[in-house]
Amino acid sequence: PEIEVAGTAGDPFIARNKIENEDIDVITLDIEMPRMDGLTFLRYLMKYKPMPVIIVSSLVSTNNPAAIQALELGAVDIVHKPGGPFSVGDIIEDLCRKIREAASCPVSRLFSASARLAEERRNSSSVQHTLSHISTTNRLAVIGASTGGTIALEELFTRFTPDFPPALAVIHMPERFTASFAERLDSLCVLHVKEAENGETVMPGTIYIAPGGYHMLVDSSGASRIIRIKNGPKIFGQRPAVDVLFNSAAESVGRNCVAALLTGMGHDGAAGMKAIRDAGGYTIAQDEESCIVFGMPKEAIALGGACEVTPLDKIAASILTHTKSIIN
């Protein structure tokens, strides 16, 4: 079979013994468990025996960001736990796909990125949101990410300052988790971060996260940028899909757009990035060394969609440089 269940464990202590004595490729992990919570176990696992972990959780409310914290600790991905509005049939296809992808994920990179981010957070000062608006609203940044994207987007957006353009971001994350993720980023970033809503006008000093389960597009109405949230078929198995956002930006924003494609598996975003470049926008692909998974950026580079290939810690500066050049 393509996926073999090697074993089950009722609590982290049983799981620890099985992991030490069996050859395991991927672990699915709940957060609420007897004897030890999932976050504590994940810290232990990543310290002593790093391996791909997929969080299967029902903790999706904005006032309980535990699932997002798990991703920051090094978990590869996240899916809804069956129950309530989600049946086993609703999540099984997504879970199987993510298990297959996680099995090939270089978890050492994920753990290293998580450790680096934690160190930066310890050394950073408290965040105060800016209340000032930027004079021009013509500039726009669009960002796409998948596997490892929670860490990458935090590292990117915490470098944004008040003179940055507004940004629209798509990350492959299930429905209901994106609100928690946006709230988490909002507590860490100088700019305001929120989950995008249909029909709202893109405002300066704001970063918009596409809601899980829906595509996000950007439209133009005169000088304003309007966010559209729509249902529709999955693209490369994803909804939201980076290509949907990028293609809409190519059409409605064109040369006034700067796009960045970050770590992630698969092809999503590659064609859309090429469309933005062809429309006169500036495009940036994260380099292989700083990626958790060099999939989506690699495909964009192969298509000729990247104007620049650069490490994650240099992307924010490049976005600012090239959005300033738009209005100069």
Residues recognised as catalytic: 146, 172, 268
Report CA-CA distances (Å) from 207 to 84, 180, 202: 30, 14, 9
Of 214, 178, 206, 194, whose CA–CA distance to 65 is shortest?
Answer: 178
Rounded CA separation 41/48 (Å): 11
- Quick one: CA dihedral 104, 105, 107, 112, positive or negative? positive
Let me know if 7 is exposed, middle or buried by CB neighbors in 10 A (0-12, 13-18, 19+).
exposed
| 3-class DSSP state of 21 | helix
Q: Which residues pair with 56 in a beta bridge?
A: 79
Report CA-CA distances (Å) from 300 to 55, 154, 202, 240, 269: 29, 22, 26, 18, 7
Angle between helices 38-48 and 12-21 (to 10 degrees): 20
- Phi, psi (5° rounding) for residue 35? 75, -30
